[in-house]
A and B are shown apart, each in its own frame.
Chain A
Amino acid sequence: MKVRSSVFASFILIFEVFGIALFLRGFFPAPVKSSLSSKSQLSDLPAEPLLGSSPNSSRLPHPLFKRVVIMLVDALREDFVFGPSGRMFMPYTRHVVERGSSHSFVAKARPPTVTMPRIKALTTGSIPGFIDVVMNLNSPALLEDNLIWQAKVAGKKIVFYGDDTWVRLFPKHFMEYDGTTSFFVSDYTEVDNNVTRHLDSTLKRDDWDILILHYLGLDHIGHISGPHSSLIQPKLLEMDDILKKIHSALILKEAEGSLPYLLVLCGDHGMSETGSHGGSSEPEVNTPLVLISPAFKRKDSNIRNPEVVEQVDLTPTLALGLGLPISQNSVGHVIPGVLEEISLRDQLRFLHLNGHQLSCLLKDSIPNYEKEAGFEQFRVAEKAHGSWMKLYIEGNTSEVLTNMGKKVLKQYLEALTAMSSALSKQLGKYDMYSMIAGMVLVFQLLLLLLLAMPEALSSAAAVDLPVLSSLLSLPFYLLCLLLASLHVLVCTSAESSCYLCSLPWGLVFAAVAFSSTILCLLISMATRRLSPGPKIQGKSPLRTSSSEWSLSELDVLLLAGTIGHTLSLGASSFVEEEHQTWYFLLNTLCLAVFQDVCRKYFREKNGSREEEEQILPSKNCHASAHPKGEIYSEKWLALATPPFTLACCRLLRSLNQTGVQWAHLPDVGHWLNSSEHKMVLSLLAAFCLVLIYLLVQRRCSWVSKVALALGLLGVYSYRAAVDNVSFPWQQSGHTMSRGTVEARFVYVFVLGILFTGTKDLLRSQIITADAKLKSRGLWEIYSGLVLLVSLLFRAHNLPVLCGCLLIQTLMAQFIWKKLHYDSAQTTIMHYWFGQAFFYFQGNSNNIATVDISVGFIGLESYVEAPAIFLTALNTYAGPLLWACHLVCYLSSERDSPVAVGHGCYCLALLRSVPAAAYIVLVTVLRYHLFVWSVFSPKLLYESMHLLLTAGVCLFFNTMEQSHGSNKS
């Protein structure tokens, strides 16, 4: 079966997207979520189990505590309290732990050990995965069911002092709050003093129920100088003093008859030996948890090793202790030690509530939940609880009852532990089977793409795929059987659930058949490649024009750059600072092009005048007016283009500082956005819009020209409406609007231009085989895209768009065509420029730089589909614009009909190589310290880019289609 290389490339890309999607599904475990959208309510609570019926059984037992003080010390490591340094630097805490009425535990935090996910874990009781962080991008507030919300609904008064992450997560939840930012890491005294200064007055008052304190100083010290620095000691002493102060204040306040208080000392995460955190090493994960309350038994012997619990166990414990419903997604189980001192009936009731909540969650998140051991145990325990209750209500008080109750209690605890661990297993695990399956699929496709290179880049631009013969061959059926049996084997033996195994059989079998087809194809193509047949006319991959296998400096650079960039993704710093790689490569590319231009115009002048003469006539056909003068001006323009591009890139680079290490440096974008420079920004925006119009309108029909002009005017008025820029006649103090009308006005013109372009394209394809009409249609679609992007870009980013268009125009005019770069080289250059412009816009490999506000342009409220589309378009505007320009350029400027096919193939190859290499890297580095903070976001960016490239390749495809019909 012969397919054109563009069809082939898009086919490969589309299936690679599926492979990557499968990989992602395995890499990011699906969050365990309750299917109910509402939050837990008191009225939903299950009745106390009882054989027979009873009137008032669904009541909650009395709360255990009246007031709760949570003292959260950021990065408090377990050994800071329980270890030798705890004995020296936290004497009071140590005394309370060993002698006082307290319970102490080592609470294990789950990675990512970063403050915000930890706070979420502590309040919701669930374990937020990385994907949660991405999903909740547009709402910084925590919308899930959580302890704070439950407390607020129950009428508890909450006071909060400390890290302002809490204030952002729980807006309007606190009666009183004072947030301190953790922005200045070098400050470790002021942040804590800002918390402590409120303490005295608050402790004296009686109007609060829950007090939360979040101390940041220790974390900052860790970041500055590590866990063994001399700064740690005074900080721990300070924390100890504060704990003492709170404790004594609470003891003073305690009144006879009322419920006791609870003081919780905990850390959100630990600190590694270098002082950082985020990963999953022991010192980062182990945090102390000390519960102090007069309700607990006073200890007389000092216990050596505190018990190990999960960090999320605190949530149900606090919820039950305060008489609140446990939040839905909580996976922890109540800490049994806390309940020791209350009546057996209440203990059983609490455990029953916790078990019920966990079993509900289990039902929602695990498909075959009945088989879970914990679920079974819980059912049994519930029944036993019912019969115990019956006896209890009947007034039986014998020894038998107590023994039976103890047994039920034990059953409950076992069930809770089993369910809790089943749930958290679901959360924290990579689904290796799906990951490997996805990886294998992607690599098969990549190999196929690579093997087809000589054919795809040949002058026929068609790939011969022996699909039918491989489908009918014996190895295909054998492979199918083998893979299917492998699948069954893996699925039946795996203890944890994998996504692939939960898929329906038909789908799995289709995937198996597809994979074996590709494998057979690969084998047959490899054999054909190895045995040199007369059929293959494939020459060197690059430079199809030259007959010998020689690489110019530029080719070496292009290849080395592509490979080097792929390799650099293995280092976390290079992922964080990927923009530097691209800027560096782009600069070198421009210098290499400059050298090529110089060589052409300076050296060949003496050596080969004939060649220049050859170019001359073809040029003269078009414009024969002033051949000599034109040549000279052209020469200087061509010579000036690479330096101009370099200068342009340097300016754009300073527009947005991005990355991690140098992101804090001041950049031009901030300068422009400050309110004093609004005038400059307005002038700049206006200038850029005019320039965009001049650059784009050249190739459009007059209808589109008018539409474009009006649209760009609309863009400016939109920016004026949302108060980014100002009209000269406008007074400064005007009301800010959302600019919906203006944005919609622009959308109308965008659609209009796109419609005209499509109409031209269709007409050129169906009615008249007119290449000129077709090229106009293409450029019109391109200008529609430019108009849309200029609306979405922030005002200070308009120079990026401008520079992009300017460089494209100049390069197309003077470099790519004049220097006879073939379509492979042109494609690689376009790809590099696209990548660099991705970062010029201010993007980075961090999720935080995605500008979500774009999703609201022209919309009254948040509508998911357009918002996602607009955000994706805005984020990937650079690569998309360059890829579209590539299509337009190759199909309209090149005479060769196969240029588009070559370009499409190269683009697919350029995109799949890093994507495929990256998923292997991520799999290898899955236990790396930075996997959640650095590698995972990059993985998402890579997959999104792959998806978009697949879309662009489809567009390529339609363009080549029309080429084919033109020819025939």
Chain B
Amino acid sequence: MWDHEIRAMASTHAIIAASVFMATVLPAVTIRGFSVYGTHLLWLYSVSGTVTAVSVAVFWLLGISPPTKKHTLGYKLSRLFRSCVYFFLSCLFFHTVVVLYGAPLIESALETFSLAVLLTSLTTLRCLCVLGPNVQAWIRVFSRHGAMSVWDTCLQITVACTVVGAWVGAFPIPLDWDRPWQVWPVSCSLGAMIGFLTGLVAAPAWIHYHRKQLTYKCK
């Protein structure tokens, strides 16, 4: 069951993971003085930009985004605009949550916001690609037993992994080891990144092993 989808998913994830790898390695080769810890923000932007571009391209090529009812240019533009607004709102949302978790409000606002951008490009952007700017669908997917396709399950797994990764990434901050990766927001963004990559691997694997049990209600 769903062998085709799983294969597509695995290759998509491989492409995205490879792009993350390239986004880390290429600047390290080309730009002098680039390092994940030292110029952390630069790495953050490079990774989130690449993930955004690659995800949008791959999902558009794959064509799993929900079928649009109208094909007018105006409608498409409005969808694009709505997506951008959602993207920005999601950044703000993540920023707020991170501040609520205790990030300094003013002092390192740029770092915090960069982390929010990374989290958004890892989670919200996928939702936008798969589900489109449709809040009802989002609520459905992220409530219990709400997945209606393999892609929904995959979305759930990757998003959960990313968020939990970022959450776990905050643990070592209070330790007094004075390591470069304990500086805000390095550990959290690394945690999110590692969580995301784990999710990319885990989602197809999990679906593959549970393909017998998976049943989806139709609309």
Contacts and interface: CB of A to CB of B under 8 A. Distances in A.
Contact of B102 (A580, A599, A603): A580
B77 interface: no
Interface stretch (B9-17, B46-54, B168-176): B168-176
Interface stretch (B28-36, B82-90, B93-101, B192-200): B93-101
A581 B175 CA distance: 11
A583 B173 CA distance: 13
Contacts of B176: 572-573, 576, 661
Contacts of B139: 598, 602-603
Interface residues of A, number: 25
B144 interface: yes
B131 to A, nearest CB: 16
B99 A599 contact: no
A653 B173 CA distance: 17
A661 B143 contact: no
B101 A574 contact: no
Interface in B102-134: 102, 105
24 contacts: A571-B175, A572-B176, A574-B174, A576-B176, A577-B174, A580-B102, A583-B101, A583-B102, A584-B101, A584-B102, A584-B170, A587-B100, A587-B102, A591-B97, A599-B144, A602-B139, A602-B143, A603-B140, A646-B100, A647-B100, A649-B100, A650-B100, A653-B102, A659-B174
B167 interface: yes
Interface string B163-192: 000010010011110000000000000000
Contacts, number: 44
A598 B142 CA distance: 11
A58 interface: no
Contacts of B105: 654
A580 B176 CA distance: 13
Interface in A557-609: 571-574, 576-577, 580-581, 583-584, 587-588, 591, 598-599, 602-603
Contacts of A647: 100
Interface in A628-674: 646-647, 649-650, 653-654, 659, 661
Contacts of A588: 167
Given A591-B97, A603-B139, A650-B99, A573 B175 contact: yes
Nearest to B163: A591
Contacts of A659: 174
Interface of B: 97, 99-102, 105, 139-140, 143-144, 146, 167, 170, 173-176
Contact of A580 (B99, B100, B144, B174): B174
Contacts of B101: 583-584, 587
A482 B100 CA distance: 57
Q: Binding site of B, secondary structure by majority: helix, strand, loop or mixed? A: loop
Contacts of A654: 105
Contact of B174 (A573, A602, A646, A653): A573
A650 B144 contact: no
Given A576-B174, A583-B102, A659-B174, 15 more contacts: A573-B174, A573-B175, A573-B176, A574-B175, A580-B102, A580-B174, A584-B102, A588-B167, A598-B139, A603-B139, A603-B143, A647-B100, A650-B100, A661-B174, A661-B176
Nearest to A607: B143
A588 B167 CA distance: 9
Contacts of B100: 587, 646-647, 649-650
A487 to B, nearest CB: 42
Contacts of A581: 174
Nearest to A659: B174
B103 to A, nearest CB: 10
The 7 closest A-B pairs by CB, nearest first: A577-B174, A603-B143, A573-B175, A573-B176, A646-B100, A580-B174, A650-B100
A571 B175 CA distance: 8
Contacts of A584: 101-102, 170
A720 B38 CA distance: 52
A483 B146 CA distance: 60
A383 to B, nearest CB: 58
A602 B102 CA distance: 28
A668 to B, nearest CB: 11
Contacts of A646: 100
A941 B99 CA distance: 30
B123 to A, nearest CB: 15
A204 B167 CA distance: 65
A814 B73 CA distance: 46
Instruction: Name the residue in A571, A584, A653, A659 with the highest tally of chain B Cβ atoms < 10 Å from its Cβ.
Output: A584
A269 to B, nearest CB: 21
Contacts of A583: 101-102
A557 to B, nearest CB: 11
Contacts of B175: 571, 573-574
Nearest to B176: A573
B102 to A, nearest CB: 6
Nearest to B142: A595
A647 B102 CA distance: 11
Nearest to B173: A580
Nearest to B139: A602
Contacts of B146: 603
Contacts of A574: 174-175
Nearest to B97: A591
A645 to B, nearest CB: 10
A602 B140 CA distance: 9
A237 to B, nearest CB: 30
A250 B50 CA distance: 76
Contacts of B102: 580, 583-584, 587, 650, 653
Contacts of A577: 174
Contacts of A587: 100-102
Contacts of A572: 176
B37 to A, nearest CB: 19
A276 B99 CA distance: 34
A584 B167 CA distance: 9
B91 to A, nearest CB: 18
A840 to B, nearest CB: 12
A192 B99 CA distance: 43
Contacts of B97: 591
A724 B174 CA distance: 34
Contacts of B143: 599, 602-603
Nearest to A587: B101
Contacts of A576: 174, 176
Residue of B101, B140, B175, B176 most packed against chain A (CB within 10 A)? B101
